[in-house]
Chains A and B, each alone.
Chain A
Amino acid sequence: MQFALLIFESPEAFAARNGDGTDSYTAAWRPYYKALVESGAYLAGEPLEVPETGTTVRIKEGKRRVQDGPFADTKEQLGGFIIMELPSLDAALDWAARCPASSTGAVEVRPLAPAAKHRVM
């Protein structure tokens, strides 16, 4: 089964990206990523630029409404994602718990929906 880890990061975690990489949050990411890859579960993943760089688009009454900033105005913001292949949700939750973001922000685990993809492709 394939799962996505949606990684929600705190403002401090986003700010740490400008540092030299020696803070405990950033330093924990490389070993986490390495352990994940070596376990064979890792399929893909990308970090996202900081939330302030986001632009949100809606069509309301046929008109474009473009809003500067991310979709949701919450403290923790989506900072990246990882796609994994694992036998069970429990195994995916283990990897979410090990993710450095789970102790400073939050990590959502979502199964991918291949059936929904097949309907449109």
Chain B
Amino acid sequence: MNGSGHESTHRAIERVARESYGRLVAYLSSHTRDVASAEDALSTALVAALKAWPRDGVPQNPEAWLLTAARRSFIDLVRHQQVAVASEPTLQLLREEREMTLPAEFPDDRLKLLFVCAHPAIDAAMHTPLMLQAVLGLDAARIAGVFLISPTTMGQRLVRAKTKIRDGGIQFEIPQERELPQRLDAVLEAIYAAFGIGWDDMAGVDQRGRGLAEEAIWLARVLLQLMPREAEARGLLALMLHCEARRPARRGPAGRYVPLSEQDSQQWSLPLIEEAERHLAEASSRGRPGRFQLEAAIQSVHAERARSGHTEWNAIMLFYEQLIRISPTLGTQTGYAAAVAEAKGPEAGLAVLDGIDPAAVSTYQPYWAVRAHLLQLLGKTTEAVDAFDRAIGLAEDPAIRQFLLQRRG
């Protein structure tokens, strides 16, 4: 086999792995609830594919091939564990395998898997890591890097969460109507946490999500494909697409940080903005507003600058007022203060900042960055330098640190 053929086989495996990973894990674990064994079985199947496909060619239906291989390995795994305690669904799977009954079209249980990952019985801090691993197949080391904990600790926490799913009676099911809004919220939160962008990027936001934006958008697309009528799911996708559209403009030469207000809007991706706008319009037409639609609306106003050349800060301020009513987080309050400052002047913005509990913001970097900026505009130099110092001292991203150092003077 020549090199390029080899490479294309590898690419085929990568593509199938990416597209089918969550479906296969969801299918294998939905009856047994054993996510860890399903993942192990699938990785064994992927290793087998890496060996067989370059030799025999990529099979006609790569997903079915993987499913067959993964099921076989899953059953081996279960056999190696104590068959005596194997659950009825597992035994059912064993019988099916004996009879070689492979479903031609296996059901897409990813939605159930997403709800399981963000189940209230699972530690909220583990919702996103679980999704990234079980639905997208990211390894613990990569997830640990993003969440800033050691790979060993992340690995242990993932194992603990999966044990809880298996043994804790968490069902693979779509929540009941009355529970659905709250349960869906947890799924959306977890996807957004993977995206890792707090509010807008005026002041320098939490940078831990770097590199996972694409994965988060992928998860949101999967969710929307499964729940096309959920306005907030669509709002979340619109929000992330708007932010993603600005990625090329967020760094200048030599990686210099460029705040949103100074970004060259010609560098924004128009196709992404247009897609975001379509989703936002579709979401709004359902008449069920929510946090993510409001955040997307704020980003949509910012995006408008690419066409009109200016920013309607009054509109942004009004959207923030609605947002604060349903989601009064530090990020929202800080974003609101920045919008008020633009719409009504720095004095008014500073008054909003003064209204936030000082104990809550002692290590919240964006608060100090906005505060420093407003104090500087008001000519309160000494206080501004103090706030800049705080923002610089709390910054994680060297580019943002550099930007603030220059602004401080």
Contact = CB atoms under 8 A, between A and B. Distances in A.
B390 to A, nearest CB: 5
What is the predominant secondary structure among interface residues of chain B facing chain A? Answer: helix
Interface residues of A, number: 22
B225 interface: no
Contact of A38 (B362, B391, B397): B362
B148 A93 contact: yes
Contact of B389 (A35, A93, A98, A104): A35
Contacts, number: 53
Interface in A29-49: 30-36, 38-39
B189 interface: no
B200 interface: no
A27 B395 CA distance: 13
Contact of A94 (B363, B388, B389, B402): B363
A103 B389 contact: no
Interface string B370-409: 0000000000000000001111111111100110010000
Contact of B405 (A28, A89, A98): A28
Nearest to A28: B401
Residue among A31, A89, A97 with the most chain B CB within 10 A? A31
Nearest to A97: B396
Interface of A: 24, 27-28, 30-36, 38-39, 89-90, 93-94, 97-98, 100, 102-104
A39 to B, nearest CB: 6
A32 B396 CA distance: 10
Residue among B148, B149, B393, B398 with the most chain A CB within 10 A? B393
Contacts of B390: 31, 34-35, 38
A1 B46 CA distance: 43
A33 B401 contact: no
Nearest to B207: A97
B394 A98 contact: yes
Given A39-B363, A90-B149, A94-B148, A24 B393 contact: no
A98 B362 contact: no
Interface residues of B, number: 19
A31 B362 contact: no
B393 to A, nearest CB: 3
Given A24-B401, A24-B402, A100-B401, A32 B393 contact: yes
A89 B156 CA distance: 15
A32 B392 CA distance: 7
Contacts of B392: 28, 31-32, 35
A12 B242 CA distance: 39
A39 B148 contact: no
A21 to B, nearest CB: 12
B405 A24 contact: yes
Nearest to B393: A35
A-B interface, 4 closest residue pairs, ranked by CB to CB distance from nearest: A35-B393, A31-B393, A31-B392, A31-B389
B393 A33 contact: yes
Contact of B396 (A30, A33, A98, A104): A98
B389 A34 contact: yes
Contacts of A89: 149, 153
B100 to A, nearest CB: 49
A32 B295 CA distance: 31
Residue among B362, B390, B395 with the most chain A CB within 10 A? B395
A56 B394 CA distance: 36
B288 to A, nearest CB: 35
A80 B398 CA distance: 20
Given A39-B363, A93-B149, A34 B393 contact: yes
